[in-house]
Amino acid sequence: MSIKNVTVIGTGIMGAPMARNIAKAGFKLTVWNRTRAKAEALSDVATIADDPQAAVANADAIVTMVDNSPIVTEIYFGKKGVVETAPSGALFIDMSSIQPAVARDHAQTLAKTEHRHLDAPVSGGEKGALEGALAIMAGGDPTDFTEAEELLSSMGRATHVGIHGAGQVAKLANQVIVAVTIGAVSEAMLLAQEGGCDPAALRDALMGGFATSRILDLHGERMVERNFLPGGPLELQLKDLENTLEVARAANLELPLTEKTRDAFHQLAHEMKMGRHDHAAYLLWLEAINPGKRLGSGETSAPPLKA
C-alpha cells in the first residue's frame, strides 16, 4: 500500500513545519489542530479539517504530533476518536513523545481494528523541523516502516530501531543525553565566566574539540544570548525525563545523572514556574542556586511565567 494522502493532527511549534515539509514532498495533506488558527496557517499547502474524524476519512497515513500520552489516546480512541473513521489498513504514525508502554498498547489496540502503527518520535527541535532535518526513531513492523520511509524522510532522517515502543525508548535515551548535556554546558559556561573567560569566545573555542555537540552549538548560543523563548518547552523535557525514570525503574536501573537533572527541571517547572521556557533555561536554575552569579550581561528573553 503506497502512501499518498496524509493527515497531520497537531500543528504547533513542531507539527506545523513538519506538515509543511510533508506537503513540499508532494503528499496530499490534510491537517487538524485543536486551536484552529494554527491549522489555518497551513491553508496554502493543506486542506483544513473541521474535526479530527473528518481529517482522517481518506488518509493512508495519520501523523500525530501532540504533547503527551493522554492526548494521543483521546485522539485515537476517545469520544471523537479517529480510529472509527480511518480507512481499514491506515498507518498511524505517532511522532509525539509518550511512554513506551502506552505506544505498545496503542499498537495492539489498533491492530484489532485492522489499522497499523509506528511510534516515531523525533529530535532536533523547531530548527530541525523547519529544515526537514529531524532525527526520527521508529518502532514497529519493519514492513510498515519501509512503506512510511518516504513520508518520514520528508521530515528528516528516519531509522527503524526495533519493535513497537522501541522508538519511544530511543527518544528517551536521546532526551537523557540532551538534558544532561544542557546541564553540563550550563555549568561549564558559568564556571568559565567566573574564571575570567568570555562565554561567547569560550563556546567558539570549544567547537571542534571533544566537547563539540549540537547542544553546545545551539543551546550554548541561547545561554550566551539569554534567549529562553521556546524551542523545546522545558515542561516537555521534564515529561520525557519522568518517563525515562519510569522505564528505568521497570528495568531495575539506577540513572543518577538523569535523576539529578530531572530534579532541576522539576524545580524550574513547578517552583520557578518556567515550564514554558526553553529547556536551555536550566541555566536559570543554576544561577538561582548560585546567588549573584549570572551568565553574560544582556537582557533575558523569556515567555511569561506560568500561573
Q: Say whether 38 is catalytic.
A: no
269 DSSP assignment: I
Are the C-beta atoms of residues 145 and 138 closer than 8 Å to each other?
A: yes
Are the C-beta atoms of residues 11 and 63 closer than 8 Å to each other?
A: no
Are the C-beta atoms of residues 111 and 145 closer than 8 Å to each other?
A: no
Q: 73: buried, middle or exposed (CB in 10 Å: 19+, 13-18, 0-12)?
A: middle
Instruction: Please tell me the distance from the alpha carbon of residue 98 to that of residue 65, in angstroms, as a whole number.
Output: 10
Q: Which of 4, 24, 171, 293 is catalytic?
A: 171
**Cell triple for residue 48?**
483544513
Are the C-beta atoms of residues 134 and 156 closer than 8 Å to each other?
A: yes
Sequence-distant contacts of 141-144: CB under 8 A, at least 24 apart: 141/116, 144/91, 144/116, 144/117, 144/118
What type of residue is 44? D
Q: 280: which strand partners?
A: none
**Catalytic (active-site) positions:** 171
